[in-house]
Amino acid sequence: MTVRRRLLVADDDGTLREEPEYEALGSSGLESQPLGRLIPLPDGSTLTQLPGCRALGRDRLGAIVEVPGRPVAALLPTGYTRLLTPAYIKEPGADHLPLFGYTAVTSLHGALFASALPLDPGGSWDPAIHNSPDLPALVQKRIRANPDNRLLAHHGRCALDYGCYTAQNLFYGRDEMAIAVSVACNAQCVGCISEQLDDVTAPHDRIAFTPTVDEIVALVLPHLETAPNPIVSFGQGCEGEPILRARLIGRAITAVRARTSRGQLHINTNGSNPRALQHLIDAGLDSVRVSMFSARDEGHRRYYGPRNYGLTEMEESLRLSRRQGLHTSVNLLTYPGYTDTPAEVEALLAFLQRAEVQMVQMRTLNMDRELLQEKVGFPAGPAIGIQALMEQIAGLGVALGSHTPFVGCAREYVS
C-alpha cells in the first residue's frame, strides 16, 4: 500500500522526523485505528512527545508495529475538538504522562494535520491575542497599584506562569476573567489539574487562601464596568469547588450588583449543592456551567470521587438554574473511546434532556490513557466517534461550543 498519512516520531532530544514506511494511527480508548477526519494543524498548537512511550504505526503489509522513536502529539488551542489520541504503547515501568490533552497528528503532503475538527476557534479565545509581549508589564502595573490584594497576585501568576486566558483577561480588561475563591473541594477527580495525590504532577498550584469580599469586588467591579463583553467566572482550574464558598461569593455578588447591573456573573461548578446554587441565583448570578465526565453513576463516581453528591444533584442544579432564567451549560470532559461509547452516549443524551441544558461545552480531558483505564476503566464495545456524538447532541437542539457565551445580564436586578 502507499503510505499517505505518514507517522511522525520524535527522538529523545526532541528532533521530529517522518517515518515514510509507516502509516500514522490514532487511538480510541485502548485500541489503535486509522485516523479518519483530519484538519491542518491549527495555529497556536503545541507539538510534544510522549515520554516513556513507543510509537505505533501500520506497515505496508497492514500490520500494526512498534516504530523506533517517541510518539508525537498535538496540544490544541481552545475551539478545536479532539477526535483521537495518539497510538502508542507504554514502556515497562513508565510513569503516567503529564496531564495534557494529547491529540493524534500526522504528516500529509509535507504538512502537519491533527485528528480534530473546528468547533468555534478564534474570536476572544484566539491564541494570537494572548500571551502578548506587553502582558508582564500589564500584570506588574496592576499589582503595583493594588499590592495588598492577594487574589490579584494569585491570578497574576496564573496569567504569566500558566498562560491561563481567563486570568490574562483580568489584566487585558476584556471578555471572560477568572476569580478563584476555594481552597477546598468535595471531589477528588482523577484528572484534577491543581491537586494530585499519586505519581502524577498537577500542572497548576491550587489557591492557598480564601480571599475577602473586598479583594473579590476590587477585581470584579472594574471589569464589569469597563470591559467589552465582560464575564466574571467563579470557579477555575487553580482552585477547589467554588460552591463550597457560596456565602462568600453571594456577599461579593450582592456588593457588585448594588453598584452595577452590567456584565455577566458566572460560575463553573460541579453542581453538587442545588441549595447553595440557589443562594447565588438569589444574589444575582447570570449563568452556570456544570462539569461532567460521565452521565452514568459508576463512571461519575470513579472519575470524580464525589463526597455526598451525585448526578441527581447536578441535574437539579442545572434545571433550577434554567427555570429561573440563567444560561446553562454542561462542561463535558471528553475522551475518545470513553465518552463516545454507546452506553455513555445514551446516558448523556437523557441527562441533557432531563436537565434542560442549553449548551454542551466540548472539553478535551487532559489525561494519561493508562491512568484513566486504571482508575475508571474504558467501557466495553466500539465507540461511535466523537463527531457522531456531537451530531446527536446537536440533534436534541442543544448548542455546542468551547467556552461560556456572553449573554449579558440574563435577568433583571433590583438595587
Domain match, 149 and 217 both: yes
Report whether 408 contacts 261 (CB < 8 A).
no
Distance CA 168, CA 365 (A): 22
Can you tell me the mean pLDDT for 382-393? 97
pTM given for the model: 0.93
With respect to residue 86, please indicate whether it lies within any of the assigned structural domains: yes
Domain holding 61, by residue range, is 6-118
Domain match, 99 and 163 both: no
Can you tell me the mean pLDDT for 135-162? 96
Can you tell me the mean pLDDT for 208-223? 96
Domain match, 265 and 387 both: yes
CA-only gyration radius of the chain, Å: 22
- Strand residues in 39-185 grouped as ranges (E): 39-40, 46-49, 53-58, 64-67, 70-75, 80-82, 85-86, 88-90, 103-108, 111-114, 116-118, 176-179
Domain match, 201 and 111 both: no
Domain match, 23 and 69 both: yes
Q: Is the pLDDT of residue 412 over 80?
A: no
Domain match, 72 and 139 both: no
Domain match, 46 and 93 both: yes
With respect to residue 412, please indicate whether it lies within any of the assigned structural domains: no
Domain match, 211 and 290 both: yes
Confidence grade of residue 415 (pLDDT, cut at 50, 70, 90)? very low
Domain match, 111 and 260 both: no
Domain match, 128 and 207 both: yes
Q: Is the pLDDT of residue 381 over 80?
A: yes
What per-residue confidence (pLDDT) applies to 236? 84
With respect to residue 10, please indicate whether it lies within any of the assigned structural domains: yes
Which of 77, 100, 118 terminates a domain? The answer is 118
What per-residue confidence (pLDDT) applies to 200? 53
110, with CB counted inside 10 A (0-12, 13-18, 19+), is exposed
What per-residue confidence (pLDDT) applies to 264? 97
pLDDT one-digit tens code per residue, 340-372? 999 999 999 999 999 999 999 999 999 999 999
16-20, 169-173, 216-220: range with lowest mean pLDDT: 16-20
Confidence grade of residue 196 (pLDDT, cut at 50, 70, 90)? very low
CATH number of the domain at 172, please.
3.20.20.70
With respect to residue 407, please indicate whether it lies within any of the assigned structural domains: no
Please identify which residue in the block is written with the cell numbers 446537536: 394
Q: Is the pLDDT of residue 304 over 50?
A: yes
Domain match, 99 and 137 both: no
- How many domains would you assign to the chain? 2
With respect to residue 51, please indicate whether it lies within any of the assigned structural domains: yes
With respect to residue 415, please indicate whether it lies within any of the assigned structural domains: no
What per-residue confidence (pLDDT) applies to 78? 92
With respect to residue 414, please indicate whether it lies within any of the assigned structural domains: no
> Which three cell numbers mark 139?
500584570
With respect to residue 410, please indicate whether it lies within any of the assigned structural domains: no
Average pLDDT of every residue of the chain: 93
Which of 98, 118, 138 terminates a domain? The answer is 118
